[in-house]
Structure formats: structure tokens, C-alpha cells
């Protein structure tokens, strides 16, 4: 009987080691994906502050255009390398969608940096913007 006990313990240890190795691989994969994403962003010359400014400018523009014209559907900007200060060209896409509330609009802004679709860095944010009261009454 004493022979069976060590086998059970060694089986338990083997399963534990296997689960620990799978956990370590998953953590390493997640870490590698994050580092890859950060290095792609730095290669394209994007800083978090620049991305935030692009999003803020797009949101403010969409809000102003919706105040003038509630039927505004969005637009696209092209930022060329020499003008933008980035190492690669960038594109900002503003898309406006209706909301279940007729006084609100959903604004989706996408920032893409890079010319190659495979290595392009893309970030997307959404907001809900209310139409001005004077436009709601008409």
C-alpha cells in the first residue's frame, strides 16, 4: 500500500506543474502582446498625449458640427507626415449615428496611424453627445 501513495502524490505534482506552466505561458503571451502593441505605437510616432488630443479635437468638432447641422454624419481627416509631426501618416474618422433618444447622437472616433494595414495602429472611442436645445425644438 505504501507504493500507491507516492504515485498519487507524483501524479498530483505533475498536474500542478502542468497547470502552473500553462498559467505562465498565458501570462507571458499577454505581456508579449502588450509590449508588441506599445512598440508598434512608438514606431509610428504616436504618444498617448497626441492620441488624446486627436480624440478631443474630433469630439469637439463633431459637437460643433452637430450644433450647426443635426444631420451631420461625420468626416475623415488625413494627417500627412510633414504636417503632423508623426513618423507615419495618420487618419481620424468621425462617424455619427442616431441614438434611441432623438436629442442625442452617438459619436465614434477612430484614429489610425500607419500606411500598412497589417502594422497599422488603431484606437477607437465613443461618446454620446446631446444636441443643443434650440435645434431640438425644430
> Tens digits of per-residue pLDDT, 26-76?
999 988 888 776 665 555 556 777 788 889 999 999 999 999 998 999 999
Share of the chain above pLDDT 70, in %: 78
Question: In angstroms, rounded to a whole number, what is the distance separating the alpha carbons of residues 94 and 117?
Answer: 19
Per-residue confidence at 135, pLDDT binned at 50, 70, 90?
very low
Average confidence score pLDDT of the chain: 81
pLDDT at 121 over 50: yes
Phi, psi of 116 (to 5 degrees): -90, 120
The pLDDT of residue 84 is 61
Nearest CA to 44 among 88, 5, 80? 88
Answer whether 109's CB lies under 8 Å from 93's CB.
yes
Amino acid at each position: 500500500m505504501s507504493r500507491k501513495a507516492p504515485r498519487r502524490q507524483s501524479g498530483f505534482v505533475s498536474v500542478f506543474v502542468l497547470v502552473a506552466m500553462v498559467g505562465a505561458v498565458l501570462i507571458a503571451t499577454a505581456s508579449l502582446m502588450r509590449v508588441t502593441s506599445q512598440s508598434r505605437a512608438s514606431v509610428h510616432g504616436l504618444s498617448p498625449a497626441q492620441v488624446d488630443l486627436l480624440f478631443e479635437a474630433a469630439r469637439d468638432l463633431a459637437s460643433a458640427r452637430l450644433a450647426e447641422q443635426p444631420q451631420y454624419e461625420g468626416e475623415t481627416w488625413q494627417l500627412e507626415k510633414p504636417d503632423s509631426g508623426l513618423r507615419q501618416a495618420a487618419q481620424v474618422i468621425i462617424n455619427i449615428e442616431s441614438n434611441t433618444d432623438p436629442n442625442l447622437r452617438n459619436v465614434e472616433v477612430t484614429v489610425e496611424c500607419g500606411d500598412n494595414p497589417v502594422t497599422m495602429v488603431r484606437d477607437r472611442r465613443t461618446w454620446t453627445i446631446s444636441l443643443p436645445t434650440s435645434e431640438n425644438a425644430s
